[in-house]
Chain A
Amino acid sequence: MRTLLEKSVPLLAWAGFTVLAGALAAILGYIVMRSWAVLHLSLLFGDVAPIDAIFLRHPVFDGLFPAVAGTFLLVLIAVLLAVPVGMAAGIYLAEYAGYRMKSCLSLLFDILAGLPSVVVGLAGFSLTILLHKVFPGKIGPCLLLSALALCFLILPYLIRTTQTALESVPLSLRQTAPALGATKLQNICKVLLPSKLTDILGGIILAVGRAAEDTAVIMLTGVVASAGIPRSLFEQFEALPFYIYYISSQYTNAEELQTGFGAAMLLLVLCGILFLLAFFTQQTLSRHFRR
């Protein structure tokens, strides 16, 4: 009986791995195959010259540029909002909070991290409604509110990354600066944070990836299928993941579908690059510090 079990386990393991690797190969292969034909600059810019499009001299109607620009702006605002707050909260948790406060807060952050993104989107949607009641006619679903909701989504990751990075600073390094007369704040800003900068940077890059791929949050807070490039924070916008979702259900001809595959490829490459970047950032750190 035991030998039978022992013999079947490697079989199960290799079978499982083959299934997973096969699924991955099928997904990647299929997207590459279907999007190959549309992968050139006109996918982004349509008939408009790229320079004109980037400097907003000419609107792009049949390219992905507005969606890419929308996603870029959205992620930029969300990350700018979330990074200072998330890092500050992480620093508090690691360096200042007492035991009871710490366990209470980390429970709340764990719940926030675990919330399905559609619930975070629903919170953003609720916020929109409440703001609409306070300022009637002035605030509706828009870029700023979407970015704010995305910021809620990535905050817990940033907090957790900062906290674990700071807590993993070895005691010898942690005590050096205070022994030389540095204040607690000087120690945090000049010793602890710089020593773990790459760790935190890796976490931020991962948060960017998460913000870029999320669809459910923005669906409920202001993304639309066609809006052009937003000219203010209070306008609706387009985004790459939502475009992919929209095409999957609303495409009318083969050409649109092709563009959809092109968009999927673009988002895939974007997230892949972010992931590799985060991975290598964190790898170089750990090697650097072992020496």
Chain B
Amino acid sequence: MSKKGFTSHGFESVSPKAWKQQIQFELTGADYNTSVITHRQEGIKVKPFYTSEDLLTSSPTHKSAQAATPQGNINDFLISFEVYANHSDMANKKALWCVEKGCDKIIFLVQESIEHPEKLLANIPIDIHINLILQKPSSQQIENFSSYLNRVGNPRWQCSTDPISHFLIHGKWWKSEIEDGKLLEELIEKLPGGILTIDSRICHSAGAHMSLQLAHAMSHFTSYAIQLSEKNTLSKIKEVHFQLHTGNDFLMEISKLKALDLLWASVCQSLHISIPYVLCVEGAAIDKTLYTNNTNTIRNSTQLLSGVIAGAQEILCTPYDRIHKKSHAYSDRLAINQALILKHECHFENIKDPLSGSYAVERLSYELAEKALEIYQKTEAKGGLIAGMLRHEIQRDMQSQYQKTLEKFQKGDAVLIGANYLAKHEPLSLEKYPFIKKQHNKTLVPPLVPKRYAMEWEQKIQRDSHENR
């Protein structure tokens, strides 16, 4: 044996061209383009391999991976949980329970019935991060919440409202576009150093492809930025919080989140904005299944891992059985434990931006960002996200993309365990209706409807099971 240190023993380097030729040779006549290249809905071709030749080298470059946000270790993320707050005591109890189980952050979905935050926040340790998202604010509620938070002065306790997200999901405003906008302005005005929450999860749930999700997240922010800049209050925003879903395509999801970073840096630089953003990632809803639902735990771990690797600052825990069950301690705790395992057991403590330099992810994130920028610019050229919703274009685009993906499942080109693969009927106690509820309320525009690819198979399983009975 050689006594010297390790060298790769004179193995010859192989060019990407030779590699590709070897693949073509092994394909024995099959078409390279259709056999090994993945053609994605975003218009991106994913190659079978990437090499250093795929790295982009020309300037201008984006140096900090997350604009103006200090880059920590990837396990520095906050573990957060959404608590529905319709009743102060109950929500407070739930929040305290979440903290005890390991959450660092509570996102309260504050309903209009909660007039004052004091009881909601009773006994919550000061080092816990809070985002009180007002779901249907009134001026009085904003006054109560902002004056309380200003008095407490805990920079970790924040309050926000996201009227556009409400509009996307419900197809209507609380009152009107102008009045809802005013409520947002009031909140920003009264709570300096506040945050802007951009809940963009619905785009993923409604079927949007990755670049569309990113483009609409940017448009969503842009609508607020234009509005607030007109009132000269944009500078009061301390952080922008993007809430995104990640799906099962692990490598592409990492690329998507890194693409958000490129986009954000590019948008901020061009618009002369300097606001750090916080990325909050939740496992997707669209690819979860009612049956064989322990697989949802597996899916969540893949989906959250892509968020962690991409450097998300917040991981939002979601139970595996949320499709059909109301919140309950067992699955809530299991969801929190998933994030705790990612944080403490994966040896991520000294890892920063781990895919920096990755030939594939660097390249694909750029390509996704490029496509997203195109869509974003087109949307904005036509008046922005709301205008697109009013013309029903946004809804149509998402529906068409959802349909294309669904067809892949129907043809068997894509798989969901428990739906179009290894499906079986299991007795389930449904505490919630697991399919799309018909909206009977009048809306201004058709809303973006959250869907799941598995639904048609699940309904078939249910029908078959009824017939067999």
A binds B: no
Binding site for A on B (CB under 8 A): none
Binding site for B on A (CB under 8 A): none
